[in-house]
Structure 1
Amino acid sequence: MTISPLEDLTMVHPLKLASLFIVFGLTACGGSSSSSPASSPTNNSASQNTTASTTTTSSTTSSSDTSSTAPAATSVTYELKFTQTWERTTFPTNYPNGTHFSPMIGLTHNDQGRIFQRDSTASAGIVSMAETGSKTLLKSEISDIQNLGNSSYLIDEAGIPNGSKSVTLTFEASQTYPHLSIVSMVAPSPDWFIGIDSLLLFNDNQWIDEQTIQLKVYDAGSDNGATFSAADSTADPQTPITLLNSERSDTDFTEGVHFNSGEHIGFITIKRMQ
């Protein structure tokens, strides 16, 4: 009878073969046991990476939401306070009796709605306001500006009476009409006035919260008078609007302010109302 090598091995070395099978069994069990812990950290790592990615995205979104700002209001309301600093002690030369400012008039408007401009000829409405303090013609001109679609809000308020220091008013502005222009006669005077020309209230997608504007004195160019109480002397031809310049014996003004100290005749403070 022929015996196979395996059978021969079984017969000859039964104890060795049994031992060999035990070793193979232990080796197989050991491999399976060691591979299971190895796969577990890999899965945990993947899970942690996913969590970190989600957290980062959430953080980025949160940061973006925090830094974003709400759209600017379409329209806002401002408080305007006009304070005069025109005093005999600071402007002593030819200082007139009965000093005051005429009732204020103005508007909020777009780029095309301005009512006066330095180095340009004054309108009939500005001339009337600067010479007499009357608002009638200028109100008519502002009405024309509104009819052309260049303004929506008229400012028609009181001035600073003799003996008072300030006057306060409110007005509305919108993103469509973000400029402010306002004027008042310096009285008495031939044709002099103070004013703001096209102050931009809405810029870089935000409204100005508060601003103070120092006022200079303008000469409307319609009267040749050189002193505050000069008699009427119509300028023919009419000259462009300029800052007030005069001889020292006439007034203390050069380029619309005190020639020596730079003192202004008054100031306007505007503050956005919440």
Structure 2
Amino acid sequence: MKITKQLTLPLSLLLLSACGGSDNASENDMNTSQSLDTVTYELTFTSTWNSSTFATNYPSNAHFSPLVGLTHNSQRGIFTTGESASSGIISMAETGSKTRLKEEIGVIQNLGHSNYLIDELGIPTNDTSVTITFEASKDFPLLSIVSMVAPSPDWFIGINSLSLFENEQWIENKTVQLKVYDAGSDSGTTFKSSDSTTTPANVIKLLSTNRSDSNFEEGVHFETQAYIGNIEIKMMK
């Protein structure tokens, strides 16, 4: 009769083998997610706008309007510094309304340059953050998103054409510090300035104001160098 002898491995080798298998599984999961054509991201928009870091004429009802944006290709975005703002961007920046900008995004989608509309809540008074999810694909890997700084003449925060797919890989985590833009359509210099239409309108630029008005320089607070908020983007597994 033939007797088969079983080989018993030491516990340390068994544990080492198990750990190696776990690492391989994690690596395979990561490689799988990186190879996907479409991925889902979680976006958290956090306000750092407060009376301590933005003391100059700080408004009592400070808030941000509902978020609106899209994922798109390199052919189309929704705003560019140094160029004139669209009517949709102006409406959003002056009133917080998303209607016209969503119509413009619809045109971009009909032209085949976008496949995902971001249409979400903003940060209301007394809240500090809001979290949303959105989809991106290899055909439409760029993110653009905006929200009105409210109240304000025509000021807004935004991300312009942020690439989520670089070097053949999806970005797993990224934080963007937000500067404030001036849409160029209103000449007000404080958060609660009365309407003062700029004719002809100026181009979009980073906000700079007098020290006694709202004290901004190139989109951040002049004295504290504080950003008004940040956006963190995480790829969901």
**TM-score, normalization by structure 1:** 0.74
2:89 aligns to what SS in structure 1? helix
Match of 1:76 in 2: 39
Match of 1:146 among 90, 105, 109: 109
CA offset digits 1:46-89 (Å, max 9, x no partner): xxxxxxxxxxxxxxxxxxxx9xx667210100000000000101
Query: CA–CA distance in 2 between the matches of 1:85 and 1:203?
Result: 29
Query: CA–CA distance in 2 between the matches of 1:136 and 1:260?
Result: 36
Which one has the bigger strand percentage? 2
Is residue 243 of structure 1 aligned with residue 206 of structure 2?
A: yes
Is residue 208 of structure 1 aligned with residue 171 of structure 2?
A: yes
CA-atom RMSD, angstroms?
Answer: 1.3
Is residue 117 of structure 1 aligned with residue 51 of structure 2?
A: no
Aligned-residue offset at 1:261: 2.5
Match of 1:108 among 68, 71, 88: 71
**Where does the alignment leave 5 or more consecutive residues of structure 2 unmatched?**
1-26
Match of 1:168 in 2: 131
Q: Which runs of 4+ in 1 moved over 2 A?
A: none
Aligned letter for 2:205? T
Bigger radius of gyration, 1 or 2? 1
Which one has the bigger helix percentage? 1
Match of 1:40 in 2: none
Aligned-residue offset at 1:168: 0.2
CA offset digits 1:176-219 (Å, max 9, x no partner): 00000000000000000000000000011000000000000000
Number of aligned residue pairs: 208
- Identical residues among aligned pairs (%): 61
CA offset digits 1:73-107 (Å, max 9, x no partner): 10100000000000101111111120000000000
CA offset digits 1:23-47 (Å, max 9, x no partner): xxxxxxxxxxxxxxxxxxxxxxxxx
2:81 aligns to what SS in structure 1? coil
2:44 aligns to what SS in structure 1? strand
Is residue 131 of structure 1 aligned with residue 88 of structure 2?
A: no
**Where does the alignment leave 5 or more consecutive residues of structure 1 unmatched?**
1-65
**TM-score, normalization by structure 2:** 0.86
Match of 2:62 among 82, 92, 99: 99
Query: CA–CA distance in 2 between the matches of 1:209 and 1:113?
Result: 24
Match of 1:90 in 2: 53
Match of 1:60 in 2: none
Aligned-residue offset at 1:260: 2.2
Query: CA–CA distance in 1 between the matches of 2:83 and 2:49?
Result: 26
